[in-house]
């Protein structure tokens, strides 16, 4: 940990970190926050550095845009590590959000469409966007209305958790639409499910087993 030294403002070096710390802080006055979050008030940077020395911590400028700038007395090494970890988590989260493509044909039947919808629902629930694309072959291109109707069914089937991110558009022989997760709809659906009717009593419940279907996307 870098130990702050109390020197006059004329000997301050250029900043070398994302945040100005100790002697890098050039504002004559700062608002100081203690290491436990307590407000210590506005004081000269020299007095703030004295407090940091007494606590064996660093004086870190955490809000340079404020007037006066806000500084906190903390262990800068630990602070920088935790902030770097948070940034990596955000980047990882953004990286995991992908665009998944679902391919359809103008002649896709109801069973196949339902299968594609189920997979798309899983992708949307994981936070991914879904692009559904209908490919026309040969003379199918003159019947784009069939493709539009198919995509509309796809949109309607997922309307409870998604929103249109990119409207239907044609690129060559491909007609596509892109859906994105809708957090408000998902929250409302979750809230509604919480108000669902209570389950039947054991003696009144059906004894029939619940069938589940698991399929992998090709």
Q: What is the pLDDT of residues 62-80, one digit of tens each?
A: 999 999 999 999 988 888 8
The CATH number, out of the four listed (3.10.20.80, 3.40.718.10, 3.40.50.720, 3.30.1490.190), of the domain defined by the range 14-80 = 3.10.20.80
The domain spans of the chain are 14-80, 96-190
User: What number of other Cβ atoms are within 10 A of residue 179's Cβ?
Assistant: 25
Q: Which CATH superfamily is domain 96-190 in?
A: Translation initiation factor 3 (IF-3), C-terminal domain (3.30.110.10)
Taking only the tens of pLDDT, the chain with its 218 residues reads: 555 554 444 444 444 457 888 889 888 999 999 988 899 999 999 999 999 999 999 999 999 999 999 999 998 888 888 888 888 877 766 656 788 999 999 888 889 999 999 999 999 998 899 999 999 988 888 888 999 999 999 999 999 999 999 999 999 899 999 999 998 887 777 676 665 555 554 444 433 343 433 344 43
Q: Angle 188-190-194 (CA atoms, 0-180°, nearest 5)?
A: 115
Q: Angle 135-141-144 (CA atoms, 0-180°, nearest 5)?
A: 85
Residues 187-204 pLDDT 10s = 777 676 665 555 554 444
pTM over 0.75: no
Number of helices (H), then strands (E), belonging to the chain: the values are: 5, 8
Residues whose CB is less than 8 angstroms from the CB of residue 127 and which lie 6 or more positions away in sequence, other chains included: 96, 97, 181
């Amino acid at each position: 940990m870098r130990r702050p030294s109390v020197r006059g403002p004329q000997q301050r070096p250029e900043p070398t970190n994302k945040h100005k710390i100790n002697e890098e802080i050039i504002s004559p006055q700062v608002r100081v926050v203690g290491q436990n979050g307590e407000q210590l008030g506005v004081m000269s940077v020299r007095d703030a550095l004295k407090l940091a020395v007494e606590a064996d911590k660093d004086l870190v400028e955490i809000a340079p845009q404020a007037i006066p700038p806000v500084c906190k007395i903390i262990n800068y090494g630990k602070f920088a590590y935790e902030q770097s970890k948070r940034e990596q988590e955000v980047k990882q989260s953004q990286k995991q959000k992908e665009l998944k493509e679902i391919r359809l044909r103008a002649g896709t039947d109801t069973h196949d469409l339902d299968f594609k919808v189920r997979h798309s629902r899983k992708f949307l629930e994981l936070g991914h966007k879904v692009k559904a694309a209908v490919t026309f072959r040969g003379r199918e291109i003159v019947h784009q209305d069939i493709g539009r109707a198919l995509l509309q069914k796809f949109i309607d089937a997922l309307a409870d958790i998604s929103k249109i991110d990119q409207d239907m558009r044609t690129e060559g022989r491909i007609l596509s639409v892109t859906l994105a997760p809708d957090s408000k709809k998902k929250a409302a659906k979750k809230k509604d499910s919480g108000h669902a009717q209570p389950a039947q009593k054991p003696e009144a419940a059906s004894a029939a087993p619940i069938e589940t279907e698991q399929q992998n996307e090709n």
